[in-house]
Structure 1
Amino acid sequence: MHVLRRPGHVSNALGDTRNRWVRQPLRTRRRNLQVGTKSRFVHAISAVILATGFVGAIADPAAAYPLCDQPDPPLACEAPTDPPPPPPPTGTGSPNVSLDSVTRQPGGLSVGGTGFDPNTGSGIQIQISIDGSTVGTLVTNPSTKAYSGILPARAGSQVCATAVNVGAGSSKTVCRAFTVRVNPFGSFDEVSSELLRMRVRVKGWLIDPDTANPISLYMYIDGRLAGAGLSSLYRPEVGTANPGYGSAHGFDLSVPADFGTHYVCLHGINVGAGDATALLGCKTVSLLKPALPKPTNLTATVVGTSVTLSWTDNAVDEEQYRISGVYGLRILPAHSGTGPMSYQIGGLVPGITYCASVVAYNSDHAEDPARVCFTGVGPDPWPY
């Protein structure tokens, strides 16, 4: 019978000298035990335990026996290592995503929806883009799968949300048609003239999508800057139609102007992204001098199918006289000074009543015409 003893230097036929476990005859072991010490016995028993693998039952192999302290201990002396972490969950599906809400708010674009990937239990990235350009990335809540946030805005007409794929599958994108404004917008409600004050007045409302504060506007008359104002008047209907921006966005502005017909344009001053200014709209307005003195003593004398209109000219600076209401507009040259004037019109239809207007016209003045009505008599000028 043989047992294992502690390693010793053993040479084989090739001259390889290694520390090896070697056998000892039982009788030699007994002799060693007889002449040896208690430590030798413990050494032998420990070697057997190590060689047969029972050392696994011992919590710390290095403490079981000093043999593990040697430079080249047996494999059984190695300390256990932690198991590797489990691999991430794997799946075969692509992510799902929804884009439930898109609104323009002061400072950006508010978006919200849900998204998840079957390959992970964690939140996933949702990339938001406007007309194909990414403006930001949000992360879904792992529990609710929801995402929401306010991201920088840029001009566009389509907003998309892309769920970034995890593991197997591919990313998924959903889109919504939505006009994203970055320039000021509003309404040029009306333009009017203030004759006594010689001013042009404009009203409306104006909002910049990047701020809830009132913004400035410029007023141009015939291509020249005529004045500036602030859109800060209370307009409750504007606040109702544009949630998040408040109601202080109205304007009522008047500026001096010369007599005549003018082309009035309004420009909003931009805040944040977008153009420096934005055209709100243009309208035409006339600021006219008081009407010239209108004709007096206007009469109509009908003879057959013709009528002679007669009146007294009371204006001195008219550019022309205009007669309307009988087969179109007729223009007469200006009359020198004041005094009687007349004009004959033919082609009247018997039994038909006509009304004529006569006015002294000047392009810088309002019109105040004189009117008269009459009925055609005599044979029909266009018999059937």
Structure 2
Amino acid sequence: MKLTSLFAAVVLAASALVVPAGPAYAVGPCQSPEPPPDCPSPNDGPPTGRLDSITRVPAGIRLTGWASDPDEAALPVRVSVDDVLAGELMADKPYPGHDNHGFDGVVAAKPGSRVCLTTADPPTTRRITIACRTWPVPVLPFGALGAPVRSGISVQLAGWAIDPGTTGPVTVTAEVDGRPGPQMSANLPRADVASAHPAYGGDHGFTLTVPEGAEGEHRICLSARATSLGCQTWTVRHNPYGGVDSVVLTGDQVRIAGWAVDPDQPTTSTLVDIGVDGKYLRTTTADRPRPDGSRNGFEMTVDAADGVHEVCALGWNLGLGDHAYLGCRSYSRLQPAPPAPTDVRVTGVTDTSIELAFTDQAATETGYRLEARGGGKNKIIDLPSYAGTGSRTATVSGLQPVTSYEVLVKPVQTGAVEVTDQDAGRASAWTTGAPVIEAFTAGPATARACKKVDARLSFRIVGAVRAEITRNGAPQWAGQAGGGLWNGEAPGGNTDGNETYVLSAYDSAGRKTTRTVRLDQEPTTVPLVKSVSFFNNRPDILVVGVWDALGNQTHDFGPLLINARLTVQVPQCQQLNIQVRRAVDRRTVVFQTVDLLGYSTGMQRDVRIDPGPPMP
């Protein structure tokens, strides 16, 4: 009993010691009272922030915003432009809602268009991007050029220019119509510039006055430090302008109407000179009412003349400038076309000319026009008129030799309708010259030995009256023509190739042109042989012939005696394998040729048969 009580007391005492300690586990270094410096903070998180504004100031670029990190009292913020470091700002200024984590400072103005802010993430060394903004950093002068204002004979312009690197004025250079103009300092007060760019003040304006220039459009461009500030254009118009609206033929009269305005005095009627075919006719006043309500119209009626005529109007200048043409229009009053000549014929030709004769049917023509068409070019000759009617002659020269021409003959009459090609008199002829063989071919292109074909020859000749063809030097064909274009064919004979054809063409003067064509022979698979000459250098008599596969002799060319020669003429177009055998048994073969094809123009072979064992 005492022992049990004692045991229970010990257990209770042990239990009292264990329960307060709780479960047992290992404690890490970052949970110790003094953790190492690389342990994360209980409030650890990435830095945050915002970029509120970017502005260009003379000292660089000014940036405002805030950046904070729970572990840091103030963050250093790096500013880069297109990844190039521009400077660093401290986020330690008061900022509503973010205590003393605001930044407002200036860094260098680096050229670029993307501005980014980064900061470190303590206690690590990695960098966190707070914000980025696309904002082209002004590093070159900028400004504006206003619209030009006309003042008399001058043009006034105004604008402003700022050099972003300074509050002082910048020099502005003008270029007028591509030529150097005046220079000025942009130092005049401009309230609008001061409001838009307070860091630079408002003394950056400029004005300039340039002459308006000559009649037409002009262009002025301004720059500062070789940087464009803009361009403007203006148009100078002092000369009168207008137009000729209509020139209408009615019977024997022509009504002319139009309008004219002097831009310097648009409400004052100006005078208008009317001319016909470049000659002054009369003057009128542009004071008639127009459909647009103005009174700048003019109208005049003049006598019409036969033919085609051009009417032009010239406006008088009232102020600055000069008189100016308003425009031109044409009218025509034509008589019927003169009659075309008849009986147009060729009376002679040369290498470069064609002589014609015709009957003139026009009594009032002012000339004749001859147009020779051919050879890809037209040759036109104008001739004076003929008195009355009757037989006429004319020559068209300067033509190409051996060329086909069609010559059109037209009478020309001033003030009359032109004679059409369809109504013109005409004649055709070829000019002379050495014949031209444009083509000469033989068909088929090739032939096979011992396989004869009928060859055909084709030709195209210009300017020949006679032609001949020879075949391997022998006459083959002859023909005649009229001297123009000759497309012809001729027989080339029955042939198996190896033919040379020569075409000779002659003109009427006997001039000759030749062209050669070949009809070749296809290569054969066996030699073409005319003859084989055998010489017996053996001590026995031999026999020459052809034997078939059964040993039957099909050709016997005779015996070949000792130290003697036997020439075998291979039959034309027969394919043979010639053997030489001993005469005593006509079985032992001492020599045989390869397959040969007999051909009259083939080669001639020599064979020497020496002592030796028989062939298998």
After superposition, the C-alpha distances for 1:83-132 in whole angstroms (9 at most, x for unaligned) are x9x958853433223222221112210012222333444x3321101232
Aligned partners of 1:99, 1:137: CA distance in 2, in Å? 14
- Structure 1 pair 287/89, CA: closer, same or farther in 2 (3 Å)? same
After superposition, the C-alpha distances for 1:301-344 in whole angstroms (9 at most, x for unaligned) are 998xx99345899x9xxxxxxxxxxxxxxxx99965683379xx
Which of residues 168, 172, 175 is equivalent to 1:217?
Answer: 172
In the TM superposition, what is the alpha-carbon distance from 1:236 to its structure 2 partner?
0.9
- Match for residue 90 of structure 2? 139
- Match for residue 602 of structure 2? none
Aligned partners of 2:193, 2:136: CA distance in 1, in Å? 18
Counterpart residue identity of residue 239, structure 2: A
Q: Which runs of 5+ in 2 are unaligned?
A: 1-33, 94-98, 263-274, 299-312, 327-616
After superposition, the C-alpha distances for 1:222-247 in whole angstroms (9 at most, x for unaligned) are 22211101222222122112222222
Which of residues 16, 33, 45 is equivalent to 1:93?
Answer: 45
- Structure 1 pair 362/226, CA: closer, same or farther in 2 (3 Å)? farther
Which of residues 167, 170, 180 is equivalent to 2:137?
Answer: 180
Counterpart residue identity of residue 177, structure 1: T
- Match for residue 105 of structure 2? 149
Which of residues 47, 61, 76 is equivalent to 1:125?
Answer: 76
More helix by share: 1
Counterpart residue identity of residue 255, structure 2: T
Counterpart secondary structure, 2:85: strand
Question: 1:206 and 2:155 equivalent?
Answer: no
Counterpart residue identity of residue 141, structure 2: P
More strand by share: 2
The answer to whether the Cα contact below 8 Å between 1:291 and 1:365 also exists between their aligned partners in 2 is yes
The answer to whether the Cα contact below 8 Å between 1:95 and 1:170 also exists between their aligned partners in 2 is no
In the TM superposition, what is the alpha-carbon distance from 1:253 to its structure 2 partner?
0.5
After superposition, the C-alpha distances for 1:12-42 in whole angstroms (9 at most, x for unaligned) are xxxxxxxxxxxxxxxxxxxxxxxxxxxxxxx
In the TM superposition, what is the alpha-carbon distance from 1:256 to its structure 2 partner?
4.5
In the TM superposition, what is the alpha-carbon distance from 1:191 to its structure 2 partner?
1.9
The answer to whether the Cα contact below 8 Å between 1:195 and 1:287 also exists between their aligned partners in 2 is no
CA RMSD of aligned residues (A): 4.7
In the TM superposition, what is the alpha-carbon distance from 1:162 to its structure 2 partner?
0.4
Aligned partners of 1:257, 1:134: CA distance in 2, in Å? 50
Q: Which runs of 5+ in 1 are unaligned?
A: 1-83, 270-276, 316-331, 343-351, 371-384
In the TM superposition, what is the alpha-carbon distance from 1:201 to its structure 2 partner?
2.8
Counterpart secondary structure, 2:110: coil
Q: How many residues align?
A: 248
Question: 1:339 and 2:282 equivalent?
Answer: yes
TM-score under structure 1 normalisation?
A: 0.52
- Match for residue 161 of structure 1? 117
The answer to whether the Cα contact below 8 Å between 2:242 and 2:258 also exists between their aligned partners in 1 is no
- Structure 1 pair 333/170, CA: closer, same or farther in 2 (3 Å)? farther
Aligned partners of 2:118, 2:69: CA distance in 1, in Å? 12
Which of residues 46, 54, 61 is equivalent to 1:102?
Answer: 54
Aligned partners of 1:337, 1:98: CA distance in 2, in Å? 82
1:1-384 paired onto structure 2 within 5 Å: 87=37, 90-91=40-41, 92-121=44-73, 123-141=74-92, 144-168=100-124, 170-173=126-129, 174-196=131-153, 199-256=154-211, 258-260=213-215, 261-269=217-225, 277-287=226-236, 290-291=238-239, 308-309=255-256, 339-340=282-283, 360=314, 365=321
The higher-RCO structure (CA 8 Å, 6+ apart) is 1
After superposition, the C-alpha distances for 1:338-384 in whole angstroms (9 at most, x for unaligned) are 83379xxxxxxxxx9577757846999489999xxxxxxxxxxxxxx
Aligned partners of 1:245, 1:302: CA distance in 2, in Å? 72
